[in-house]
Amino acid sequence: MSNKILIVGLGNPGEEYDNTRHNIGFKILDSFADSLKVKFEFRQRTDSPWRTSRLAFTAEGKVKNKLFYLVKPTTFMNLSGKAVNYYLQKEKIPLANLLVITDDVSLPTGQIRLRPKGSDGGHNGLRNIDEVLSSGNYSRLRFGIGNDYPKGAQVNYVLGKWNNEELKIILPRIELAAEAIKDFGLMGVEKTMNAYNSK
């Protein structure tokens, strides 16, 4: 098994999208990067080809013998597959070592659910990744954002900011999701599912 792990957090670039429910993938990846003591970069550097960032903010860190490549696409949600495919090819990372982190309105706020494959569930980011990769056979970590919105108001809800009550719930859960990312890389998807899906 390859020692390279590609972790992609889904979200939209730009300050106006910071702290929105749809950007929870970015937030979880930020938390994981903090735990590795690495920073995301989006600029040219000559000393490391990886940091010649394209289509994404990127960071890398090592845990034991595993190299974690962290990617926050700058393509906007609907074109996430472009960045995912680029970094899979660039780093020659097998699909089995890909984990995509996304928001999910069908899960209660703060609940996490790891799966080794699945459908896009109506999520535009996952749909585009499936289309570009011609496959849904990659692991995804879904983070519940709840569905407390009236009919027809889903877009405004997912692009809305977390309120204070929600923040109290999600902040510790973000840390838990970051731990799940690490264990995914070290233990694989099955053992990590068993450890975290019931938490």
Task: Evaluate whether 130 touches 123 at the Cβ level (below 8 Å).
Answer: no
162 token code pair? 């977390």
Return d(Cα 95, Cα 88) in angstroms, integer: 8
Note if the pTM is more than 0.85.
yes
Please count the other Cβ atoms lying within 10 Å of the Cβ belonging to residue 155: 10
Q: pLDDT per residue over 176-195, tens digit each? A: 999 999 999 999 999 999 99
pLDDT of residue 42: 65
Q: What contacts 143, CB < 8 A, 6 or more positions away? A: 24, 25, 28, 101, 102, 103, 104, 107, 110, 111, 112, 173, 174, 177
Return d(Cα 40, Cα 181) in angstroms, integer: 17
Question: What DSSP state is assigned to residue 96?
Answer: G
Burial of 77 (0-12, 13-18, 19+ CB in 10 A): buried
pLDDT of residue 50: 43
- Break the chain down into helix, strand, coil percent, rounded to 5: 45, 20, 35
pLDDT of residue 43: 52
58 token code pair? 């990127």
Return d(Cα 12, Cα 148) in angstroms, integer: 21
- What are the residue ranges in the chain where pLDDT is below 70? 1, 42-53
pLDDT of residue 95: 95
The gap from C-alpha 135 to its chain's centroid, in whole angstroms, comes to 17
- Return the active site residues: 22
The domain made up of 4-196 has a fold known as Rossmann fold (3.40.50)
